[in-house]
Homo-oligomer: A and B are copies of this chain.
Amino acid sequence: MKRVTIGDVAVHAGVSTATVSRVLNGGLVAESTAAKVWASAESLGYSPNALTKSIFAGRSSTIGVIIRDLSSPFYLDLIRGVDEVAAANDSPVMLANTYRRTDREAAQVRAMDQHRVRGLITTADETADDHARRMAENGTPCVIVARTAPGLHSVSLDDVAAGRLMAAHLTDCGRSRVGVVSGSHRPTQVKRVEGLRQGLAESGLPQPQEVLVENEDEVDAAVGSLLHRVDAVVCTTGRLTAAVHAALTARDLKMPDDVGFLTVDDFPWASTLGISVVAQPSYEMGRRAAELVVEEPTAPERIVFQPSLIARGSCG
């Protein structure tokens, strides 16, 4: 049960712990000594304690990631990007899922700080920014995803452009009476709707009808309240795509013939279902976020990605 320590290896090989440490980390050691040490380590089944290494280094090699919702394809792809870069840098990833419980986020950030993560990538909202900034002051690069934050790195989408892209596509498809289902008061949502408004206005089309929905089970009623006035339904959050889609099909509305449908964030079944989306380069965004952690730029960087339209016919 007792763990094998560097001291045990040292005794077994008949050298000091300093020598063992040097062998393991590639210091200046005679070849014959190194061989003895490796043999001892092997035969004792020695596994160096990464925690101890970290405390000496003042910081662990782990990258912390706090995600609001792992079940979202956007975040999933984002993590894939983070993972890729982390793996290339021999950094394990510590993942915390808040399941949209905003009140847990500050605690998660604090936990990551206490674990002395090498850097933090988070989708937490403003409440946790103070703590993140304190971490940044202590030399832990913190990257905010999906929004910008003063004094912190950020990787986000040009949400206004996303909204305009939606407007442009709807215009192209000849839709004129647009209904929007948006997910919350978060800046992402607000800006996407804003972009949509701008785009429609510039095309000389009427402003969209908007419903704001907190929860998935409110979606059906919300969509119902829109339908008699619109010829296209837009959803500004990937999280509600399924619910909005279900609300439309439940009313036996065919897309694009009976109603146009456009949403954000690409997902695996979208092509099968023929759903058009405005997609974020989520994988790339994850990579970039992790790169910021690894590169530790001194000044806060704001990286903004451009959305792209994937037309699949659900708008006509």
Contact = CB atoms under 8 A, between A and B. Distances in A.
Contacts of A175: none
A314 to B, nearest CB: 13
Interface in A12-55: 45, 47-52, 54-55
A71 B74 CA distance: 11
Given A71-B76, A96-B92, A246 B272 contact: yes
A11 to B, nearest CB: 19
A83 B1 CA distance: 27
A225 interface: no
A3 B246 contact: no
Interface stretch (A109-117, A120-128, A154-162, A253-261): A109-117
Contact of A47 (B92, B94, B114, B268): B114
Contact of A273 (B3, B49, B110, B269): B269
Contact of A249 (B58, B94, B272): B272
Interface string A86-127: 010000111111010000100000111111100000000000
B48 A114 contact: yes
Given A47-B114, A51-B51, A242-B272, A94 B97 contact: no
Given A71-B76, A245-B272, A1 B115 contact: no
A219 to B, nearest CB: 14
Contacts of A48: 114
Given A47-B114, A62-B94, 12 more contacts: A1-B139, A45-B134, A47-B110, A51-B51, A51-B54, A51-B55, A51-B115, A71-B80, A80-B97, A83-B99, A92-B96, A93-B96
28 contacts: A1-B138, A3-B58, A45-B134, A47-B110, A47-B113, A47-B114, A48-B114, A49-B55, A49-B114, A51-B51, A51-B60, A55-B55, A62-B94, A71-B268, A76-B76, A79-B97, A80-B97, A80-B99, A87-B104, A92-B94, A93-B94, A93-B96, A94-B94, A242-B268, A242-B269, A246-B272, A249-B272, A269-B273
